[in-house]
Amino acid sequence: MKLASYIRDGQSSYGIVTDDGIIDLGEPLGDRFADLKAMLASGLSEAAAFADSHTPDTQLEDVELLPVIPNPSVIWAAGMNTHSHYVEAKDIMGLTEIPKVPMFFLRATNTLVPSGQALEKPLKEPAFDYEGEIALIIGKRCRNVSVDEAVNYIAGFAPFNDGSARMYQISSNQVTTGKNAFRSGGFGPWMATADSVDIDSLELTTRVNGQLRQQMKIDDLIFSFAELISHISEVNWLEPGDVIVTGSAEGAGALRNPQVFLAPGDSVEVEVSGIGTLINSVVEQVID
C-alpha cells in the first residue's frame, strides 16, 4: 500500500495511492486523524480496510503533493553510511576507518520539498549538490529497542534527496548549516508501507537531467535500517511520523572528478525500486 499527503480542493489531506487514482482518507477519517502522521500512530488497519472496500475518488494529477510526512517531529539523517561513499571519500576527508557507530545530523522540517516542486539553491552557494537516499518512516513509539525488533517499528519507506549546500557544509566542522538550506531536501512522492516492501531487494537510483549519477543496493549500507533505529532509540524516543534518512551511495557531485553541481533548470530524480520516483527541479533561492 502506498500513502501520500497532498492538497485537495485547497485542503490538506492524505490517502492511498493506487494505479487508478487516490482513495482519499482525509475526509472520512479526518475527525480522528488530522494528517498521515496521526493515522500512523493508530496503525494502518483502517487504511488497509479502506483500500479493500473503496475505489479511487480523485486522480493524482488533481492534487498537489506534500512531503510524505509534512510535519515530522524530527528528521534524523545518517552520514557516511555506505561502503561506496566511504571508499570515495576516505582519502579526500582523511578517514582511516569505517565508522564504528552511526553518525547523524538533524534536518529542519522547512527544508522539505515534495515531489514536483523545486529545490532552492541558496544565493551564495556555488556547490549545491544532490544525495539520493532511502528514508524510513517510524510507525510506533519506541525507546531502547533491540536490533532484532527494530524493523517492527517501521511504517514505510520513501525516496529522499538530501540536497546539500557544500560550501556551508565544509566551512565548519559541523555539517548542520549545509544540510539545512531552506527547501533543499526532496521527500516523496509517497511512502510504501513496510508490509509491501522487500527490504533486501531495494535499489536506489539517482539521475540528474536523465543521466545516471548514483546507484545503490541495500547491502551497500554500513549500518542497516534496524541498526539505525536501535541506535537512535538508545538516546531518545522515536515517535510515529519521525523520519530517518539512511545514507547516500557514491556519486554525489562534490566527489566526482571533475566535480559537478546542481544549477537552476536542472532536474533530479531519486527512484527507489517498488516505491516510486521523487522528481525535483532546481531554482535559485526565491526572494519574496
Distance (Å, rounded) from C-alpha 157 to C-alpha 42?
18
For 111-152, write each residue's pLDDT tens digit.
999 999 999 999 999 999 999 999 999 999 999 999 999 999
The mean per-residue pLDDT over the stretch 166-181 comes to 91
Segment 53-98, tens digit of pLDDT? 899 999 999 999 999 999 999 999 999 999 999 898 887 777 778 8
Would you place residue 265 in the very low, low, confident or very high pLDDT band (cuts 50, 70, 90)?
very high
Taking a C-beta distance cutoff of 8 angstroms, is the pair 156, 139 a contact? Answer: yes
Predicted structure pTM score: 0.96
Predicted local confidence at residue 88, as pLDDT: 87
Cα–Cα distance measured from residue 117 to residue 157, given in angstroms and rounded to the nearest whole number: 20
Domains assigned to the chain: 2-65 (no CATH), 75-284 (3.90.850.10)
Q: How far is CA 123 from CA 32, 101, 107, 282, in A?
A: 42, 35, 20, 12
